[in-house]
Amino acid sequence: MKARRSLALICYTVCIAACLAAGVVSFMAYRDKLTYTFGFLLFAPIWIGSYWFLSFFNALSREKNGKKIRFIVKKSLTKGLSAVANVISVLLLCFWVYIFVFRILPGSGSKADNNDVSGAGSAAAAVCVI
C-alpha cells in the first residue's frame, strides 16, 4: 500500500510537471518565440500526457472493493489535487482556443496579414468586411 501511495504521488508530480511544461510552450508561442503551429504540436502531446498521469493518479489513489471505495491517499487531498490539475488543464486548453480564434483565424489580424507585401491580404480582408 505504501508503494501504491508513492507511485500515485509520483504520477501526480509528473502530471503537474507536464502541465507546467505545456504552459511554458503556450507562453513561448504567445510571445512569438515559437510559431503557433509548432507550439500547438508541442503542446498537444504534453497535455495528453498530463491527462494520462492524472488518470493514473486517480486510479492509484483509490481502491475499490465491491461497492466500497477506500482512499489510499486522503480523500480531500485526492479531490483537491485532481481539481487543481483539472483547472490548470482546462485553462491551458482555453488559452489555445483563444489563440486560434483571435490570432490564427483569417481576418483576425494575424501575422500573415501584417507581413503581406503585395497588398493581396489587405484586399482580401476588405472583401471579407464588405
Residue 115 scores a pLDDT above 50: no
| Whether pTM exceeds 0.95 | no
For residue range 50-74, list pLDDT tens digits in order: 999 999 999 899 888 888 888 888 8
Please report which confidence band the pLDDT of residue 102 belongs to, taking 50, 70 and 90 as the band edges.
Answer: confident
Residue 63 bridge partners (DSSP): 70
Pairing of strands 62-65, 68-71: antiparallel
